Chain A
């Protein structure tokens, strides 16, 4: 476990599926994450309820609540910080039930989400909120996967390297924000 220091985050760090860490722990993640926010969640849940095929393999995946700016020329992605996670709360338990393992966002979650995280052994991470420019440094590639008509809310597949995370709710449902 490396001590978090975003300033020197260019260094090679933990490359593993970041589950099983305790709430409050900091880590860097390298791998694949899927960008999806409000409208994409509504569609994903609609597709599950109808029994249709999902645009990406939900099982063991990580979703990042984000809507990046447009991509400037010569960049992989624009500014891409986290959006408020609680807006996705109503959709999250069903996604966890269908195999979602990790979520990245900002802010607290509902009790229902916390319970579902514990039940389905998921993890909720937070990352530097309001630091979208800085976070774009850790994105190595970005590709549209589905729902292009949603514009900034389309589902993207990102390959990230040393993306800074803090475990906010761990597999045991323990939260860094407390459990009232």
Chain B
């Protein structure tokens, strides 16, 4: 059986911390460049240019793209034929802690959500999944909270129509308005349970923005871009860069829908060991 030491995982996570925080995902960068080319509103164009300049400057100067280096969310896919020696979760958090310190990122995590108190770099949120094979895939998504705060979950009736669901998704974006750093990338999870719909919504943010989109996704994106919120909420046709939906079977009594919003600084990085 293939074996991997926990220390190797820590080392890989440290590298992911740098990649995810200093350079924007290529698909997001391409979508921003495209939006910049097509945007007609003068001010929106200036803002999109500043966003592009920011990513270039961050990479050049080894600075975080955004000061909100997020709540680190880690998705792990472990091959069932792989043996990990050591504590996997501890190894991941050790890598997060060491990486965030090493690269001068922000200590945004408070240990007690009610008492708050002194903030630190970890723990991260870890989602684990067992898959076939003998490899491990680790994905780090540093999730900023300006946009996380605007995410919503609604439990629809099983008899609810598609129009109601579409309205809920669009209203979620309207209520985020200027606050969560548009242009947004929107992840939607439909089905499963309340928790599972929300994980799907977050996972949908990992799908390439250039991936083939369904009619429903295209239609929602079009309607969202018609709201005229625009970059920084100051108008324009670029309110969202992409919208991706993930679905899962659900119960006869329900229809959960979760919307997870990402700011334009959608950062994530993956590694396979």
Q: A4 and B46: CB pair below 8 A?
A: yes
> Is A103 engaged at the interface, CB distance under 8 Å to the other chain?
no
Chain B residues, Cβ within 8 Å of A66: 67
1/0 per residue, CB under 8 A from A, across B47-74: the answer is 1011101110110011111111100000
Q: How far is the CA of A81 from the CA of B181 in the complex (A)?
A: 11
**Tier of interface size on chain B:** 35 or more
Q: A7 and B66: CB pair below 8 A?
A: no
Closest chain-A Cβ to B62's Cβ sits at a distance in Å of 7
Q: A107 and B233: CB pair below 8 A?
A: yes
Which residues in window 144-180 of A have CB below 8 A to B? 149-153, 166, 176-177
Q: B49 and A6: CB pair below 8 A?
A: yes
Closest chain-B Cβ to A156's Cβ sits at a distance in Å of 12
Chain A residues, Cβ within 8 Å of B108: 67, 152
Contact of B46 among A6, A137, A153 (CB under 8 A): A6
> Is B209 engaged at the interface, CB distance under 8 Å to the other chain?
no
> Is A44 engaged at the interface, CB distance under 8 Å to the other chain?
no
> Is B177 engaged at the interface, CB distance under 8 Å to the other chain?
yes
1/0 per residue, CB under 8 A from A, across B238-266: the answer is 00000000000000000000000001110
Contact of A130 among B104, B233, B234, B264 (CB under 8 A): B264
Closest A residue to B265 by CB, please name it.
A130
> Is B180 engaged at the interface, CB distance under 8 Å to the other chain?
yes
Chain B residues, Cβ within 8 Å of A136: 63
> Is B232 engaged at the interface, CB distance under 8 Å to the other chain?
yes
> Is A69 engaged at the interface, CB distance under 8 Å to the other chain?
yes
Contact of A69 among B64, B119, B177 (CB under 8 A): B64
Q: A68 and B67: CB pair below 8 A?
A: yes
Chain A residues, Cβ within 8 Å of B180: 84, 107
Which residues in window 91-144 of B have CB below 8 A to A? 103-108, 116, 118-119
> Is A133 engaged at the interface, CB distance under 8 Å to the other chain?
yes
When A and B form their complex, which 10 residue pairs have the shortest distance between CB atoms, in order from nearest?
A107-B179, A133-B58, A131-B54, A132-B67, A133-B63, A134-B54, A79-B64, A70-B104, A79-B67, A72-B104
